[in-house]
């Protein structure tokens, strides 16, 4: 039985974190392939050959109109040679043992496609990621706490994680109270901004954008679609951390993997169990 996990990392139109994202999957034990979105839209590449599809961070179409909006519209409306849209093919893709991951701009794309949180199952937009309360681009490290319940299955040994954020539009806004209540009741708010002790925070600067529910990441009801604003692919080694020297001097023990790599490894190891 082939247990190699394959990941398709999408690039093009301003996405600029594809190499780091592919490196994260490779170091986690998967086999990544980077492909331009046009390869999918033209029918040159079939998504069903992969286990995971990743939409990395960046500035697709310069964040014109709204972050991720233009790329989401291409995916929603552009007809493929098959006669389907890529969104329809992504929906079909998720019927199997598959997963879609969106990081930063990728999260914004998934939200505008309606793939997250997709509570009503109609691929209609239910949340958005809007301008930070600070009204500026936030480029720094924050702490995040993972939810240990709900459909997210890849946080089992990760609770409080330092991760970098790099965004100007990361504030989660729910369409209405019904969507917000469903996110809470179904435990879809799988990653929240917190302090170093793990206490969830709603206020700036520990919450870098003012996101509702202090949300840093969402999962859909199936656990197959996961989006987050922080960049785990930028914390693959302890040496990526700005305080790595102090950690070493304080007697840091254990391997030198960053928490971001641990998250990717958890995702890849999960797929190995079901292949």
Catalytic residue of the set 104, 144, 174, 215: 104
* Rounded Cα gap, residues 51 and 268, in angstroms: 9
Cβ proximity of 165 and 139 under 8 Å:
yes
**Is residue 190 annotated as part of the catalytic site, yes or no?**
no
**Is residue 233 annotated as part of the catalytic site, yes or no?**
yes
Q: Pairing between strand 99-103 and 127-130?
A: unpaired
Q: Which two tokens stand for residue 261?
A: 């790599």
Cβ proximity of 158 and 260 under 8 Å:
no
Residue 15 is classified by DSSP as: B
Residue 200 is classified by DSSP as: B
**Is residue 167 annotated as part of the catalytic site, yes or no?**
no
- Cis preceding-peptide flag for 271 (omega within 30 of 0): no
Cβ proximity of 13 and 58 under 8 Å:
no
Q: Pairing between strand 191-194 and 171-174?
A: unpaired
* Rounded Cα gap, residues 114 and 110, in angstroms: 6
Q: Which two tokens stand for residue 49?
A: 């050959």
Q: Pairing between strand 6-11 and 52-55?
A: parallel
Cβ proximity of 226 and 101 under 8 Å:
yes
* Rounded Cα gap, residues 17 and 15, in angstroms: 6
Unique residue bearing structure tokens 């709603």: 202
Point out the residues that are catalytic. 104, 231, 233
């Amino acid at each position: 039985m082939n247990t190699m996990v394959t990941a398709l990392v999408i690039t093009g139109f301003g996405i600029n974190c594809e190499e780091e994202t592919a490196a994260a999957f490779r170091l986690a034990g998967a086999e990544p392939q980077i492909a331009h979105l046009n390869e999918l839209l033209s029918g040159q590449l079939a998504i069903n050959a992969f286990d995971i599809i990743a939409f990395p961070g960046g500035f697709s179409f310069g964040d014109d109109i709204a972050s991720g909006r233009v790329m989401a519209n291409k995916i929603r409306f552009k007809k493929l040679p098959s006669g389907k849209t890529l969104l329809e093919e992504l929906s079909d893709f998720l019927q199997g043992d598959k997963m879609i991951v969106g990081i930063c701009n990728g999260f914004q794309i998934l939200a505008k496609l309606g793939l997250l949180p997709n509570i009503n199952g109609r691929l209609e937009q239910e949340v958005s990621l809007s301008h930070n309360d600070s009204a500026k681009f936030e480029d720094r490290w924050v702490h995040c706490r993972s939810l240990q319940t709900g459909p997210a299955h890849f946080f089992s040994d990760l609770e409080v994680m330092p991760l970098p954020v790099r965004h100007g539009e990361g504030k989660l806004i729910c369409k209405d109270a019904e969507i917000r209540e469903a996110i809470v009741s179904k435990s879809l708010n799988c990653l929240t901004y917190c302090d170093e002790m793990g206490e969830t925070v709603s206020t700036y600067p520990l919450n870098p954008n003012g996101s509702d529910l202090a949300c840093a990441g969402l999962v859909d009801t199936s656990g197959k679609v996961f989006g987050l604003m922080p960049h785990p692919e930028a914390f693959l080694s302890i040496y990526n951390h700005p305080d790595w020297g102090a950690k070493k001097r304080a007697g840091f023990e254990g391997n030198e993997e960053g928490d971001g790599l641990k998250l990717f490894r958890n995702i890849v190891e999960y797929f190995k169990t079901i292949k």
